[in-house]
C-alpha cells in the first residue's frame, strides 16, 4: 500500500505537468482538443491524489508504523477519530491534504464550466490553479514526502501530542485549510482576467460563491482555533496574538475587505485595481501564513518547528507577488479608464472604502507586529518579541471604528447622503446608544474602550433593526400584506442585503464577547485544603476531593470542585492533570459556561497532604464569541441561498422603500 501511495503522488505530478503543457499548447494554437485533454487530465490528478490521501488515512487506521509519518503521530491505543486526524497532524500529511483539497476545487471548477465550449476564461483559470497544484505536488513528492518508510518496524508509534487530542483537532485544521485553499480559486480567476485583458465584473460574479465559501471556513477555522486554545492551553483566553494565530487572521482581514469592496465594483464599477490587489494579497497572505507556520523562524506554540520547506514557500510567495503585481501594472491604464471616482464623503461607497482602509490597516499593524522580531534580529542581532499590549493598543481603536461603520455604511445612500438623511437614519439609534451609555456607566462600566464598544454595539443593532422595520413597513403600506408575511417577503427577496445585516449582528456579538473577557477578565490563585471553601466574585467554590483515574492512553488526577453561585448549587466540575506514557503531562481545564460569564478552573498541582493549587479565572461574556459565530454563519447561509426572480423582487422592494421614505420626508 505504501508504494501505491508513493506512485499515486508521482503520477499526480506527471499528469499535472502534462495538463499544463496541453493548456499552453491549446491556448497558443487555439486548439480545443488540447484544452479538452487538459480538462480530462484534471480529473486524473484528483483521482490519483484522492487515492494517495486514502492510502495515508488507511495506514493510520491500520497502524502501519512502517511509514515514518504514521509512527510519528499515532499509536495503537489512540482512538480511531484521532488516528484519522493524523492526516493533518504534521507537516507532511497537512501538505498532502492541502494538495488534495486544491485538486478537488480545481476539479469542481472545471466541471462547472467545461461544457461551455465558448468559455474563453476556463483554460487560463485552470492554468493558474494547476501551477499552484504543481507547486504542492513537488513538495509532497520531493521535499516532504509522506510515504517515507523506516528501516526497522517499531512495535508502536510515538503517539499524538496530548494538546492535539481534543475535538478541536477534528475541526480547526480542516476548516482553516478549506479557507486557505478556497481562496486559490478567486485568485486564479482574477489572474486569468488580467492575462486575458477582460477586466469586467465577470470574474467577481463567477467567484462569489467561492469567496463566501472560503471566508466562512476561514472564519470557522479561526474561531475553532480560539475555542481549542481556550479549552486546551490553560491560560484562560482565546487569542494571544501568536504569530501563527496572526497568520490566519491577516488573510481573513483582507478577504473581509474584498467581500465588501466587490459590492462597490458591481454597483458602481469602482475599485477594480483595489479588488484585484486585495485578492492577490489574500492568497499571498495564506501562503505567508504557511511560511510562518512551517519555517520555524518565529517561535509559536502552533508552529510545526524548523524546516527548510518554509523557505520554499517564501520563494513561491515572492514569485506569486511579483507575477501578480506585474500583471496589475501591465493592465493599469485599462483598469484606470473604467474606474469612476467617489462623488461624496458621506455615501455608501465611501463607507465601504473606509471599511477597507481600516481592515487593511489592522492587517498591516498585525503584519508589522508579527515580523518585527525578524526585523529587530536583522538590525540589532536580538529578537525583540511583540506581545498582546502592542496589538491591542493599535488594533482596538480600529476595531471600534469598524463597529461604527457597521452601523453607518448599510444605511447611507449610494452616491451622496444628505444631512437630512443622516438625521433621519441615525436619530433613533443615537438615542438608544445614549441611553445604553448612561445605564452602562451607572452599572460600573467606566473604562472608555469597553464603554464605547458596548454602546456602539447598541447603535449597530438598533440601526439594523430599524432597517428590518422600515422594509417590513414598506410591504405592509404599499402592498397591503400583514406584518409577518411582509417581513418574510422582505428577507427572502433580498437575501444578500438582509443576510449581511445578520452577519453584522453576529460580528457585534463577537465584539461584545471580546470586550467582555478582554477588559474584565478576573484571575486569582488559591491553595486549598480538602473541604475548604473560597469566595471568588459571585461564586463559592468548595474543594471536595482529589481523585485519580485511568483512560485509554493516560492516567489522570482531578480535583472535584463544588460550585455555588449567588447561594445556589450549580454543579461540580473537575480540572485535571493528565500523564501520558509517551508524552509530557498536560493540564485539562474545567469550565462552567453561561451566557453572562464562564468559570474557568486550572489545577496547578497538589501536595502529599491533599492540598491543591487552583487558579480561578472568570471570563465575562466570552460565550458571546461562540454565539456570534453561529449568527454569522446563519447570516452567510441565508445570503447565499438562491431566490427566484431576484431582480424583479428587489426592484419591488426598492420601490416600496423609496415610497415609504418619501412619505417620511414629507
Cα–Cα distance measured from residue 509 to residue 453, given in angstroms and rounded to the nearest whole number: 11
**Average pLDDT value for residue range 188-214:** 93
Calpha distance 67→146 (Å, rounded): 8
**pLDDT value at residue 545:** 94
pLDDT of residue 575: 97
Per-residue pLDDT, 302: 54
Q: Which tens digits make up the pLDDT trace of 579-631?
A: 988 788 889 999 999 999 999 999 999 998 999 999 999 999 999 999 999 99
Looking at residue 662, its pLDDT comes to 46
Confidence bin at 339 (pLDDT 50/70/90):
low
Section 158-169 average pLDDT: 91
Q: What is the pLDDT of residue 646?
A: 45
333-347, 525-539, 557-571: least confidently modelled range: 333-347
Q: In this predicted structure, what is the pLDDT of residue 157?
A: 92
Phi, psi angle pair for 461, to nearest 5°:
-65, -45
Question: pLDDT tens digits, residue range 452-487?
Answer: 999 999 999 999 999 899 888 888 887 777 888 888
> Cα(154)–Cα(578) distance, rounded to whole angstroms?
25
Q: Residue 352: which pLDDT band, with cuts at 50, 70 and 90?
A: confident
Task: Provide the pLDDT for residue 415.
Answer: 73
Answer positive or negative: Cα dihedral of 257, 259, 265, 267. negative
The predicted structure's pLDDT at residue 420: 77
Distance CA 457, CA 436 (A): 10
Which residue from 3, 15, 174 is spatially nearest to 88, judged by alpha carbons? 174
Which of the four pLDDT bands, split at 50, 70 and 90, describes residue 347? confident
pLDDT digits (tens, 9 = 90+) for 488-542: 888 888 888 899 999 999 999 999 999 999 999 999 999 999 999 999 999 999 9
Whole-number pLDDT of residue 337? 64
Per-residue pLDDT, 326: 97
Mean per-residue pLDDT, 276-284: 98
**Between 184-196 and 91-113, two packed helices, what is the crossing angle to 10 degrees?**
50
Contact 614, 543 (CB under 8 A): yes
Q: Which domains does the chain have, with CATH numbers?
A: 1-160 (1.20.120), 162-386 (no CATH), 391-519+631-665 (no CATH), 521-623 (2.60.98)
- Choose between 477 and 252: higher pLDDT: 252
**pLDDT for res 136:** 97
- Calculate mean pLDDT across residues 264-276: 88
Query: Alpha-carbon distance 297 to 291, whole Å?
Result: 9
pTM, two decimals, is 0.93
Averaged pLDDT for residues 549-570: 92
What is the average per-residue pLDDT within 439-459? Answer: 94
Q: What is the pLDDT of residue 651?
A: 46
Name the residue among 275, 351, 295, 293 with its Cα closest to residue 88: 293
Q: What is the pLDDT of residue 18?
A: 97
Predicted local confidence at residue 663, as pLDDT: 42
Residue 14 is predicted with a pLDDT of: 98
Per the prediction, the chain carries an average pLDDT of 89
Across the range 259-280, mean pLDDT stands at 91
What is the percent of the chain where pLDDT is above 70? 92
Distance CA 482, CA 473 (A): 9
For the ranges 187-191, 326-330, 409-413, 553-557, which has the lowest average pLDDT?
409-413
Give the per-residue pLDDT at 344: 65
- What is the structure's pLDDT at 299? 63
- Average pLDDT value for residue range 79-107: 96
* Dist. CA 117–CA 535, nearest whole Å: 73
pLDDT score for 303? 53
> Is the pLDDT reported for residue 271 higher than 50?
yes
Amino acid at each position: 500500500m505504501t508504494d501505491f501511495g508513493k506512485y499515486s503522488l508521482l503520477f499526480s505530478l506527471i499528469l499535472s505537468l502534462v495538463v499544463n503543457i496541453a493548456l499552453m499548447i491549446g491556448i497558443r494554437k487555439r486548439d480545443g482538443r488540447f484544452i479538452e485533454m487538459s480538462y480530462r487530465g484534471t480529473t486524473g490528478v484528483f483521482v490519483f491524489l484522492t487515492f494517495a490521501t486514502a492510502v495515508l488515512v488507511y495506514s493510520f487506521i491500520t497502524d502501519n508504523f512502517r511509514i515514518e509519518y504514521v509512527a510519528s503521530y499515532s499509536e495503537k491505543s489512540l482512538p480511531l477519530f484521532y488516528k484519522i486526524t493524523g492526516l493533518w497532524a504534521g507537516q507532511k500529511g497537512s501538505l498532502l491534504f492541502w494538495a488534495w483539497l486544491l485538486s478537488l476545487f480545481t476539479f469542481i471548477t472545471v466541471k462547472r464550466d467545461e461544457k461551455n465550449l465558448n468559455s474563453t476564461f476556463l483554460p487560463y483559470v485552470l492554468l493558474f490553479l494547476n501551477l499552484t497544484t504543481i507547486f504542492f505536488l513537488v513538495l509532497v513528492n520531493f521535499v516532504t514526502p509522506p510515504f517515507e518508510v523506516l528501516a526497522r518496524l517499531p512495535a508502536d508509534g510515538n503517539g499524538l501530542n496530548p494538546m492535539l487530542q481534543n475535538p478541536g483537532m477534528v475541526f480547526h485544521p480542516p476548516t482553516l485549510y478549506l479557507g486557505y485553499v478556497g481562496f486559490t480559486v478567486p485568485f486564479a480567476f482574477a489572474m486569468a482576467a488580467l492575462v486575458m485583458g477582460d477586466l469586467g465584473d465577470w470574474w467577481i460574479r463567477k467567484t462569489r460563491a467561492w469567496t463566501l465559501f472560503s471566508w466562512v471556513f476561514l472564519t470557522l477555522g479561526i474561531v475553532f482555533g480560539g475555542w481549542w486554545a481556550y479549552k486546551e492551553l490553560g491560560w484562560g483566553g482565546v487569542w494571544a496574538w501568536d504569530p501563527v494565530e496572526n497568520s490566519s487572521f491577516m488573510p481573513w482581514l483582507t478577504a473581509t475587505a474584498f467581500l465588501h469592496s466587490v459590492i462597490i465594483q458591481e454597483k458602481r464599477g469602482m475599485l477594480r485595481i483595489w479588488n484585484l490587489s486585495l485578492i492577490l494579497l489574500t492568497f499571498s497572505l495564506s501562503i505567508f501564513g504557511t511560511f510562518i507556520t512551517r519555517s520555524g523562524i518565529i517561535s509559536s506554540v502552533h508552529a510545526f518547528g524548523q524546516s527548510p520547506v518554509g523557505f520554499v514557500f517564501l520563494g513561491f510567495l515572492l514569485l506569486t507577488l511579483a507575477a501578480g503585481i506585474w500583471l496589475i501594472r501591465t493592465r493599469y491604464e485599462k483598469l484606470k479608464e473604467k474606474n469612476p471616482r467617489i462623488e461624496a464623503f458621506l455615501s455608501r461607497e465611501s463607507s465601504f472604502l473606509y471599511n477597507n482602509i481600516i481592515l487593511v490597516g489592522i492587517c498591516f499593524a498585525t503584519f508589522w507586529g508579527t515580523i518585527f522580531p525578524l526585523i529587530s534580529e536583522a538590525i540589532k542581532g536580538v529578537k525583540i518579541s511583540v506581545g498582546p499590549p502592542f496589538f491591542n493598543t493599535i488594533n482596538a481603536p480600529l476595531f471600534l471604528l469598524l463597529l461604527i461603520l457597521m452601523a453607518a455604511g448599510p444605511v447611507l445612500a449610494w452616491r451622496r447622503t444628505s444631512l437630512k438623511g443622516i438625521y433621519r437614519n441615525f436619530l433613533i439609534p443615537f438615542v438608544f446608544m445614549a441611553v445604553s451609555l448612561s445605564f452602562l456607566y451607572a452599572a460600573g462600566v467606566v473604562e472608555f474602550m469597553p464603554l464605547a464598544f458596548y454602546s456602539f454595539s447598541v447603535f449597530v443593532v438598533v440601526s439594523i433593526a430599524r432597517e428590518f422595520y422600515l422594509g417590513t413597513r414598506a410591504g405592509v403600506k404599499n402592498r397591503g400584506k400583514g406584518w409577518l408575511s411582509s417581513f418574510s417577503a422582505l428577507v427572502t427577496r433580498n437575501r444578500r442585503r438582509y443576510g449581511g445585516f445578520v452577519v453584522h449582528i453576529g460580528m457585534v456579538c463577537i465584539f461584545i464577547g471580546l470586550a467582555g473577557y478582554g477588559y474584565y477578565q478576573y484571575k486569582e490563585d488559591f491553595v486549598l485544603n480538602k473541604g475548604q471553601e473560597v469566595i471568588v466574585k459571585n461564586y463559592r467554590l468548595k474543594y471536595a476531593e482529589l481523585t485519580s483515574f485511568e483512560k485509554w492512553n493516560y492516567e489522570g488526577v482531578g480535583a472535584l470542585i463544588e460550585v455555588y453561585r449567588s447561594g445556589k448549587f450549580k454543579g461540580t466540575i473537575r480540572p485535571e492533570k493528565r500523564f501520558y506514557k509517551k508524552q509530557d503531562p498536560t493540564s485539562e481545564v474545567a469550565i462552567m459556561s453561561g451566557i453572562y460569564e464562564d468559570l474557568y478552573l486550572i489545577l496547578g498541582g497538589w501536595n502529599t497532604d491533599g492540598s491543591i493549587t487552583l487558579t480561578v479565572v472568570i471570563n465575562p461574556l466570552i460565550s458571546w464569541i461562540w454565539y456570534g459565530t453561529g449568527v454569522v454563519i446563519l447570516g452567510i447561509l441565508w445570503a447565499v441561498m438562491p431566490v427566484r426572480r431576484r431582480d424583479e423582487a428587489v426592484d419591488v422592494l426598492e420601490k416600496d422603500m423609496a415610497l415609504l421614505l418619501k412619505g417620511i420626508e414629507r
